[in-house]
């Protein structure tokens, strides 16, 4: 098996391979293989290799390429996870022998994100096509008896006897397996019939019990029914008698109410006539009142018109308005003259100020020329300064370059510090915030602040475990200060965090203590050094850890455990109470009850958790071999600072001159703006004067309008007097007509009063008659209600609306005649009192029957009929089901008996081989058919394996809880070998079946296998076998037809040079005792 083998290579004798056996397997980017071609032999192929070398990858590839499911491998169920790590696709290709068709090639290609793709002889195919091909060659990938993957070896011994029988049938005979499955389906059908029989039998019993329980209730119901029948006859007669009496009373009351109604109608007619006469008079009265109101409104209108027409104030108002208009025109003319005079004075004042502004601007042109000259000079100086600034920028760029060069040397230290800070943050977020705050505010502290998770540097990886088992959790997460003031600053009440702090001043640092060396005596005992010397840290921090944890008095190393007691006594004399050795932590303490007695405790060292990050092995500072860049940087920085300061001074001087020049320019600008302001104001005032002078006020026109108004007022006064005289005459005439209407109104009111008095007398009489009528109606309604109750009672008991036979329908007449006849036959009383007494007597007798405790109803009667009907049907159905069940059981029993005979023959053959193989091992084993109590329970048949590996013991059933893993492996392997003679499959695969076997049994099993494959008859001589194992015993009987394949996990083909010598392979075989 080599990555260099050709993908088209076939065994030289491939035409002699049995149909269905494998000629070649090619792996490309599949699990552990990049590209490998495996060419097996036709017999036993021993595939050897250490764990992880890729042996099981061969089994996985064969299974998947033959259309098997990843689930059958016991590994990942996702097929994409079988692609080699880091690759996007891979494939496995198998070539199957076929004497007639020639070699058949099946390739499975797996791609990430796509469905698996099959190709059969280079053409696209489906998984169903591959499964049909596999079925054609009887390749049983899913049968653990023929294909046992590494992770399925254990589950084979754990399968139940039922599952073992099914898998054995699959391997031994398709006919047996199919017959077994058919019988299981038939048994399901018989179970259905049995369930129906059981259900029907329960139904019959239930119906019989129900009938027995309901019979007393039905008999009691029938007795009560007879009593109720007689009671109903009495109640019917009572209803008839009461209805006849109620109907007679009702007819009498109807006659009374008719007489009262006639008198009531007469008085009601008189009241109606009086009301009609009163209505006519009221209509006339309303008409006269409306005419009077209209005359009164007209008269009042004339009076108002007279008053309006003769209005003295109207004339005065017109004259007053004309006078006010004339006075307003005079006032406007006076204001116009004043406005013209004011504008002229403003023009004179602005002219004087403009002349003063012109005088102030004398010399402005010379000053402007001087300003431009000075501005040009300052601009030139600014250009020189910019050139100097460019030079500074060039030097600044060089300075940054030197700074970047210096920073590159510090990057490594900065990265280490960031990683340590992340560890600190994960351990204690408050402590990380406090440490970061100290770094940012370092200028406020008098000394340095340290913490173990930042400032400790381990000297070796093993130092991490020493510190993990000596420094307490609180002391790992603490800030150590050099001054008390610094502690108050970082952990005062004003801070938001809650942390642990401590103070170790310079006076309390004892360097001879924190740098204590291991004594020669302890070194000789096997100790390597003291824990305080396995790491570097600032003296302040190391002194604190030695104070609280005693690191300078804890040795560590590897000692001879046989000398543990003497070493402990020696350490006790040297007053050492704790030491670390051989992966243990030893601590000696004085007994609390006997100070002369020492108590020693041992605990395993805890795994590293706090200092497990490799960053703690890196130093915090990087030594700079060459300081030239820093010196050059400082020199250039000094020159740049001096030049920058000179440039600032020059620019300050230029700015001062520019400020003086700007101040002078602003003064001239202010004078110029003042001149422009006065000039604009003068122009505005002149324009205003021209506009005002053009506006004029004509007083003569206002006087003429006033004279015209006076003449108009005199003419209107004359017309008003004539109109008032006409209106006064009309007013007097309308009041005469109003008096006539008032007389007619009085006459109508008198007639209405008389009619109203007459109507009231009639109403009093009507009220009296109304009371009588209402009383008669109440009595009639009472009689009617009584009749309705009696009629409802009659309808309820007798189903009749009335007892007038002449008005009855034919059906009602028939019912009434039948009822009368029933009354005569039953000799029912005719008087109410007698009827009531008889009804009470019957009710008492019925109550006694109901109180007997066995109450029944019509539902019970109906229920009894239903039960009798259902019971007859259920009994008939049960008898038919019993007959059908017997016939089905007879047929199924015959077929199971035939199947059982064939299975027993198969198991007998397996048992013969199994016993023979166990005899070779010097043990006992047998295989038998496990039969259930009910022979028809075909689904409960199984194979029972009994084994015994020790003399003097009874055989026990093979079980994963009884036998050891090696014993189960031997039993499983021998069962598979015993089964092989019955299982004609083209090839078999077993992965690491010998893992748990002892060497003796493994050798014997191997000899059995080789002996079977080297025979001249039997299916094993024509079966290809793949046996995978991580080991191979010395001196095995290797025959010519045993092909040993060595699997080595190499990264590339050059690694194969380590095994390129034929002589090395021969030496290896000779050492293993394998003949060439």
Average pLDDT over residues 477-502: 91
How many Cα atoms sit within 13 Å of 984 on the Cβ side? Answer: 10
pLDDT tens-digit series, residues 190-209: 777 777 888 888 888 888 88
Average pLDDT over residues 875-880: 81
Q: Torsion angle of alpha carbons 649, 652, 653, 655, nearest 10°? A: 160
| pLDDT score for 575 | 81
| pLDDT score for 438 | 92
Per-residue pLDDT band at 590 (split at 50, 70, 90): low
Structure-model confidence comparison of residues 118 and 1071, the more confident one = 118
Instruction: Indicate if the pLDDT at residue 319 is higher than 60.
Output: yes
Alpha carbons 72 and 989: distance in angstroms, whole number: 13
Instruction: Indicate if the pLDDT at residue 699 is higher than 70.
Output: no
| pLDDT score for 623 | 41
Average pLDDT over residues 587-610: 73
Average pLDDT over residues 516-533: 88
Structure tokens at 498: 């809650």
Lowest-pLDDT range of 564-573, 586-595, 770-779: 586-595
pLDDT over 90, % of the chain: 9
Structure tokens at 155: 């589950």
Average pLDDT over residues 85-104: 90
pLDDT tens-digit series, residues 395-409: 776 766 666 666 555
| pLDDT score for 534 | 93
Alpha carbons 55 and 992: distance in angstroms, whole number: 9
Alpha carbons 730 and 137: distance in angstroms, whole number: 141
Lowest-pLDDT range of 240-244, 386-390, 816-820, 850-854: 850-854
| pLDDT score for 781 | 80
Order of strands across the sheet that contains 1042-1046: 147-148, 987-991, 1024-1029, 44-48, 1042-1046
| pLDDT score for 624 | 39
Lowest-pLDDT range of 505-514, 616-625, 706-715, 959-968: 616-625
Alpha carbons 479 and 502: distance in angstroms, whole number: 6
Lowest-pLDDT range of 90-94, 182-186, 837-841: 837-841
CB atoms within 10 A of CB 773: 18
Angle between helices 174-309 and 832-850 (to 10 degrees): 140
pLDDT tens-digit series, residues 1029-1064: 777 766 666 666 778 888 876 545 544 455 444 565
Instruction: Indicate if the pLDDT at residue 529 is higher than 50.
Output: yes
Of 484, 483, 469, 428, the C-alpha closest to 451 is 428
Average pLDDT over residues 978-989: 75
Structure-model confidence comparison of residues 37 and 265, the more confident one = 37
Per-residue HEC secondary structure of 313-373 comes to HHHHHHHHHHHHHHHHHHHHHHHHHHHHHHHHHHHHHHHHHHHHHHHHCCCHHHHHHHHHH
Q: Judging by DSSP bridges, how do beta strands 578-581 and 584-590 pair with one another?
A: antiparallel
Average pLDDT over residues 735-762: 73
* Residue 576 backbone zone (phi > 0: left; psi -120 to 50: alpha; other: beta): beta
Is the dihedral angle over the CA atoms 990, 995, 1001, 1002 positive or is it negative? positive
Residues in the chain: 1076
How many Cα atoms sit within 13 Å of 471 on the Cβ side? Answer: 29
CB atoms within 10 A of CB 1074: 18
> Are 430 and 501 within 8 A, CB to CB?
no
pLDDT tens-digit series, residues 45-93: 888 887 777 878 888 888 888 888 887 776 777 888 888 888 999 999 9
Instruction: Indicate if the pLDDT at residue 622 is higher than 50.
Output: no
Q: Torsion angle of alpha carbons 182, 188, 193, 195, nearest 10°? A: 170
pTM: 0.39
| pLDDT score for 538 | 93
Burial 219-229 (b: 16+ CB within 10 A, else e): ebbeebeebee
| pLDDT score for 849 | 66
> Are 937 and 892 within 8 A, CB to CB?
no
pLDDT over 70, % of the chain: 81
Angstrom CA distances, 64 to 37, 104, 108, 991, stand at 16, 16, 7, 16
72-76-78 Cα angle (round to 5): 100
Structure-model confidence comparison of residues 387 and 533, the more confident one = 533
> Are 555 and 575 within 8 A, CB to CB?
no
| pLDDT score for 203 | 85
Of 918, 980, 993, 974, the C-alpha closest to 46 is 993
Angstrom CA distances, 377 to 382, 646, 657, 981, stand at 9, 19, 10, 118
- The three-class DSSP label of residue 143 is coil
| pLDDT score for 7 | 62
Of 699, 709, 701, the C-alpha closest to 322 is 709
pLDDT tens-digit series, residues 1000-1037: 777 777 777 766 665 555 555 667 778 787 777 666 66
- Domains detected in the chain: 1-139+986-1076 (3.40.50.300), 457-610 (no CATH)
Instruction: Indicate if the pLDDT at residue 957 is higher than 90.
Output: no
Average pLDDT over residues 931-936: 85
Place of tokens 């009617």: 784
Alpha carbons 788 and 801: distance in angstroms, whole number: 10
| pLDDT score for 802 | 76
Instruction: Indicate if the pLDDT at residue 626 is higher than 50.
Output: no
Structure tokens at 861: 């009667």
Burial tier of 432 (Cβ tally within 10 Å: 0-12, 13-18, 19+): buried
Average pLDDT over residues 125-139: 86
Angstrom CA distances, 638 to 403, 531, 626, 633, stand at 14, 48, 20, 9
Instruction: Indicate if the pLDDT at residue 23 is higher than 90.
Output: no
| pLDDT score for 545 | 93
> Are 860 and 219 within 8 A, CB to CB?
no
> Are 100 and 18 within 8 A, CB to CB?
no
Report the chain's mean pLDDT, rounded to a whole number: 78
């Amino acid at each position: 098996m080599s990555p260099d083998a050709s993908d088209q290579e076939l065994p030289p004798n491939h035409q002699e391979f049995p149909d269905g056996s494998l000629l070649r397997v090619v792996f490309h980017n599949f699990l552990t293989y990049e590209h490998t071609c495996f060419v097996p032999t036709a017999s036993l192929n021993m595939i050897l290799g250490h764990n992880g070398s890729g042996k099981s990858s061969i089994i996985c590839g064969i299974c998947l390429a033959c259309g098997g499911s990843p689930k059958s491998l016991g590994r990942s169920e996702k097929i994409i996870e079988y692609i080699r790590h880091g690759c996007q696709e891979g494939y496995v290709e198998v070539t199957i022998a076929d004497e007639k068709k020639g070699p058949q090639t099946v390739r499975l290609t797996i791609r990430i994100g796509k469905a698996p793709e099959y190709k059969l002889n280079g053409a696209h195919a489906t998984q169903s096509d591959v499964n049909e091909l596999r079925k054609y060659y009887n390749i049983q990938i899913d049968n653990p008896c023929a294909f046992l993957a590494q992770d399925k070896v254990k589950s084979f011994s754990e399968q139940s006897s039922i599952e073992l029988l099914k898998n054995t049938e699959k391997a031994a005979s398709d006919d047996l397996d199919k017959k077994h499955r058919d019988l299981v389906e038939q048994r399901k059908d018989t179970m259905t019939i049995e369930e129906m029989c059981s259900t029907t039998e329960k139904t019959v019993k239930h119906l019989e019990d129900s009938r027995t329980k309901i019979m007393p209730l039905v008999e009691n119901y029938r007795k009560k029914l007879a009593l109720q029948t007689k009671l109903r006859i009495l109640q019917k007669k009572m209803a008839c008698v009461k209805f006849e009496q109620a109907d007679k009373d009702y007819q009498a009351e109807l006659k009374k109410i008719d007489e009262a109604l006639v008198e009531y109608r007469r008085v009601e007619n008189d009241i109606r006539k009086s009301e009609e006469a009163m209505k006519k008079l009221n209509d006339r009265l309303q008409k006269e009142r409306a005419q009077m109101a209209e005359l009164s409104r007209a008269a009042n209108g004339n009076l108002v018109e007279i008053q309006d027409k003769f209005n003295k104030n109207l004339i005065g108002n017109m004259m007053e308005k004309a006078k006010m208009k004339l006075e307003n025109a005079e006032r406007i003319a006076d204001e116009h003259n004043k406005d013209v005079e004011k504008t002229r004075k403003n023009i004179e004042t602005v002219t004087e100020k403009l002349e003063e502004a012109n005088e102030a601007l004398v010399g402005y042109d010379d000053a402007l020329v001087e300003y431009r000259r000075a501005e040009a000079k300052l601009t030139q100086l600014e250009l020189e300064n910019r050139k100097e600034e460019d030079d500074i920028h060039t030097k600044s760029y060089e300075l940054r370059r030197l700074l970047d060069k210096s920073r590159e040397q510090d990057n490594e230290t900065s990265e280490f510090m960031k990683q340590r800070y992340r560890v600190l943050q994960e351990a204690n977020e408050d402590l990380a915030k406090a440490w970061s705050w100290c770094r940012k505010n370092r200028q406020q502290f008098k000394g340095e602040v340290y913490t173990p998770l930042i400032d400790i540097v381990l000297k070796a990886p093993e130092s991490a475990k020493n510190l993990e088992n000596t420094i307490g959790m609180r002391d790992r997460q603490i800030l150590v200060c050099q001054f008390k003031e610094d502690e108050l600053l970082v952990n005062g009440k004003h801070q938001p965090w809650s942390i642990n702090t401590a103070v170790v001043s310079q006076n309390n640092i004892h360097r001879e203590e924190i740098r204590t060396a291991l004594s020669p005596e302890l070194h000789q005992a096997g100790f390597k050094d003291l824990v305080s010397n396995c790491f570097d840290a600032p003296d302040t921090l190391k002194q604190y850890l030695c104070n609280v944890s005693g690191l300078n008095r804890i040795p560590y190393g590897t000692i001879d455990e046989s000398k543990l007691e003497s070493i402990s006594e020696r350490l006790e004399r040297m007053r050492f109470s704790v030491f670390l050795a051989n992966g243990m932590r030893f601590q000696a303490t004085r007994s609390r009850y006997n100070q002369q007695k020492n108590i020693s405790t041992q605990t395993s060292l805890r795994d590293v958790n706090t200092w497990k990050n490799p960053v703690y092995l890196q130093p915090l500072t990087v030594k700079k071999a060459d300081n030239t860049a820093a010196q050059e940087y400082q020199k250039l920085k000094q020159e740049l600072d001096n030049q920058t300061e000179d440039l600032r001074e020059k620019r300050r001087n230029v700015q001062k001159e520019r400020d003086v020049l700007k101040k002078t320019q602003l003064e001239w600008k202010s004078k110029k703006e003042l001149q422009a302001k006065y000039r604009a104001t003068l122009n505005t005032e002149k324009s205003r004067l021209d506009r005002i002078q053009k506006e004029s006020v004509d007083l003569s026109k206002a006087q003429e309008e006033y004279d015209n108004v006076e003449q108009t007022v005199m003419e209107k006064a004359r017309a008003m007097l004539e109109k008032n005289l006409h209106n006064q005459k009309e007013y007097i005439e309308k009041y005469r007509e109003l008096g006539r209407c008032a007389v007619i109104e009085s006459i109508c009111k008198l007639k209405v009063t008389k009619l109203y008095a007459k109507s009231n007398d009639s109403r009093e009489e009507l009220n009296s008659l109304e009371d009588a009528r209402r009383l008669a109606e109440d009595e009639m309604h009472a009689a009617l209600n009584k009749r309705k109750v009696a009629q409802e009672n009659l309808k309820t008991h007798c189903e009749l609306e009335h007892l007038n036979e002449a008005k009855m329908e034919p059906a009602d007449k028939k019912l009434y005649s039948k009822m009368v006849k029933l009354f005569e036959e039953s000799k029912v009383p005719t008087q109410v009192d007698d009827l009531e007494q008889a009804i009470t007597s019957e009710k008492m007798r019925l109550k006694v029957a109901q109180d007997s405790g066995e109450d029944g109803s019509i539902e019970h009667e109906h229920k009894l009929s239903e039960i009798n009907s259902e019971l007859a049907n259920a009994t008939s159905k049960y008898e038919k089901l019993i007959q059908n069940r017997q016939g089905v059981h007879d047929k199924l029993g015959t077929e199971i008996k035939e199947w059982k005979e064939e299975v027993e023959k198969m198991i007998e053959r397996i048992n013969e081989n199994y016993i023979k193989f166990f005899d070779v091992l010097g043990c006992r084993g047998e295989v038998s058919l496990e039969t259930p109590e009910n022979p028809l329970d075909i689904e409960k048949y199984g194979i029972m394996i009994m084994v015994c590996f020790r003399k003097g013991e009874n055989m026990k059933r093979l079980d994963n809880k009884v036998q050891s893993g090696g014993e189960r492996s031997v039993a499983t392997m021998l069962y598979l070998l015993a089964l092989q003679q019955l299982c004609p499959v083209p090839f078999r695969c077993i992965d690491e079946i010998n893992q748990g076997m002892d060497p003796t049994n493994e050798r014997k099993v191997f000899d059995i296998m080789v002996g079977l494959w080297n025979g001249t008859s039997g299916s094993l001589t024509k079966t290809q076998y793949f046996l995978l194992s991580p080991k191979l015993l010395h001196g095995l009987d290797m025959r010519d037809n045993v092909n040993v394949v060595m699997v080595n996990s190499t990264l590339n083909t050059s690694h194969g040079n380590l095994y390129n010598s034929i002589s090395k392979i021969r030496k290896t075989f000779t050492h293993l005792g394998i003949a060439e």
